[in-house]
Chain A
Amino acid sequence: MRPAPRSMGDTAQVPFSAPARTADRTGSGSSASGLFLVTAAVALFGFAYGADSYAAGNGVLRPVLASALIQGGASQIAAAGVLKTGGPAVVAILVGLALNLRFMALGLVIASDLPTGRLRRLLSAHLVSDLPVGMAITERPAHRARLFFVVGFALWGAWVGGTLLGAIAGSTFNVSVLGADGAITASFVALAVEQIAGRRAAVVAAVAFAVTAVLLVWASGVAVLGGALAGLITERFLRVKPEAVT
């Protein structure tokens, strides 16, 4: 667990530092089973996406290139959904980009841990996604880059490889049978719980969850974004208030 953002009086706190009780965790052995499972689950989703995309008449090359170059499952599926229902290309692009706006935030989160050099940082940025960043920031800063690349490459490979196999197999495949979606959701729950330390953080998390849930009803494309924004505002409010008193 990370400390609540801005625990009072802890001014010497290193940004993103892990508290002492988890400081001995290196993530090498302990996360290995988690990494394997999440890779398998992502590969299954890739397979389902590839099969669906092939069935929609996109051939093999296009879904594989989409997975390799976009590397954002939710946005690919949402954009495909817009096109499938006869929506214009502009809307498909906008919905996809709205879903991927959180990657800008996650790119900022991991920015200070990435290697130097413009090209290397650009290529590293391509791996930015929910799980690589979320898993990496549970580590001490010195271990973050390594875990980010391990998870990032594993999931990119699983997503692209799964898409390729699905497009080749061409038969639609219901991932929900195996509970693979439950595994992915569980990984998000685990990443969220990692961030919750203390009552204030729990309030922020609850607000982010609730606002997203409400937005999903009529603005699903920007629900995560709106929920995260509401969480940020809540965090700001809860953080600033006690300071103003002192």
Chain B
Amino acid sequence: MSWTVLVVLAAGTLTLKAIGPLLFARRPLPPSLEETVRALPLAIYPALVASATLSSDGGTSAVERLISAGAVLVLLILVRNKNMFGVAMIVGAAVTALIRFLTG
């Protein structure tokens, strides 16, 4: 990564991150925007799951990642209502590692 890319990407990324916190420092979000903002996490995190499981990263198989994520999803649907964050991660890592071990 050249210095130019580093500096521009860093400045651009911080700008993107800071728009919300700086623009709405002294006033609350306008109601029209607030409804959209409230829906953002619901739209963003499933998209991230798709990206994390299905994007081609060159090394690992998308099917493996999809099975692992599916196992975690089933677990979280069956055992709702509890803080399962740590358990979910262990299961995700374990299933992924197991599939890779079995499929060599």
Contact = CB atoms under 8 A, between A and B. Distances in A.
Decide whether A and B assemble into one complex: yes
Interface in B1-36: 1-6, 8-10, 12-14, 16-25, 28-29, 33-36
Contacts of B77: 193
B9 A16 contact: no
A133 to B, nearest CB: 8
Contacts of A195: 41-42, 45-46
Interface in B21-64: 21-25, 28-29, 33-57, 59-60
Contact of A63 (B1, B95, B96): B1
A189 B13 contact: no
B40 A189 contact: no
Interface residues of B, number: 76
Nearest to B52: A185
Given A83-B2, A193-B77, A15 B38 contact: yes
Given A109-B20, A179-B94, A212-B51, A62 B43 contact: no
Contacts of A187: 85, 88-89, 92
Contact of B44 (A105, A135, A185, A213): A105
Interface residues of A, number: 113
Most chain B Cβ neighbours within 10 Å, of A63, A110, A128, A137: A128
A228 B89 contact: no
Contacts of A83: 1-2, 5
Interface of A: 1, 5-6, 15-16, 21-22, 25, 27, 30-34, 36-38, 41, 53, 58, 62-63, 65-66, 69-72, 74-76, 79-80, 83, 89, 92-93, 96-97, 100-112, 114, 116-118, 121-122, 124-126, 128, 130, 133-135, 137, 174, 176-196, 201, 204-206, 208-213, 216, 220, 223-225, 227-232, 235-236, 239
Given A106-B20, A133-B41, A186-B93, 4 more contacts: A108-B20, A110-B20, A205-B45, A216-B50
